[in-house]
Chain A
Amino acid sequence: KNEVEQSPQNLTAQEGEFITINCSYSVGISALHWLQQHPGGGIVSLFMLSSGKKKHGRLIATINIQEKHSSLHITASHPRDSAVYICAVLGGSQGNLIFGKGTKLSVKP
């Protein structure tokens, strides 16, 4: 079993839809990252969370430390949101991330 599980693996939405991507982890963590990876590979860090909720534009990320679960929400989705969204957790004391398999999001116009 992977230490970081994401769902769904693939997601197709219509422009304007509300999108939720889920992440569950089985290890103790100090923080969780939501990352965005576009075709071509570059990774952008969207959020780093250790508790509660963060919002940036149309993106909202929440984390429940007790339940070891985090969600990434995209409101009013747009085709430019199409990318792979990766949940990665920061475990231990050394700072390296443990990555989920990613969720491939495709938003159709």
Chain B
Amino acid sequence: AAGVIQSPRHLIKEKRETATLKCYPIPRHDTVYWYQQGPGQDPQFLISFYEKMQSDKGSIPDRFSAQQFSDYHSELNMSSLELGDSALYFCASSTGVPGYGYTFGSGTRLTVV
């Protein structure tokens, strides 16, 4: 069965560079969530989208932005990267009923050097 696809799996960037992370939800899932998990920490909610509109916002820095496209895939854009942005970034998708069918991607591990 198709799963949530994230790309890239690993990314190394230098300070002050930009990065774009992509998430492709399960077919027929219209809701996408982004989470950030720092080393040794529990995941923190960043932002979510439902039907291409932002539906909720968590602890997402102003340097980050995200959007959901017409095919429901989502991209997280990160600018002016800082060392503290090094983390595992998870995407999850679900159906229109909030949280149901919750499925996680494998994550993108971002390392800022």
> A: which residues have CB within 8 A of B?
30-31, 33, 35, 41-45, 48, 86, 90, 93-102
Q: What string of 1s and 0s marks CB contacts (under 8 Å) between B93-106 and chain A?
A: 01000111011101
Query: Is the contact region of chain A dominated by helix, strand, or loop, or is it mixed?
Result: strand
Bound-state CA distance A45–B106 (Å) is 12
Is B37 in the interface zone, CB < 8 Å from A? yes
Bound-state CA distance A32–B96 (Å) is 17
Bound-state CA distance A97–B94 (Å) is 12
Bound-state CA distance A73–B36 (Å) is 28
Is B55 in the interface zone, CB < 8 Å from A? yes
Q: Which of chain A's residues have a CB closer than 8 A to the CB of B99?
A: 30-31, 48, 90, 95, 97
From B35, B56, B107, A95 is in contact (CB under 8 Å) with B56
Q: What string of 1s and 0s marks CB contacts (under 8 Å) between B30-48 and chain A?
A: 0101010100001111001
Bound-state CA distance A35–B109 (Å) is 19
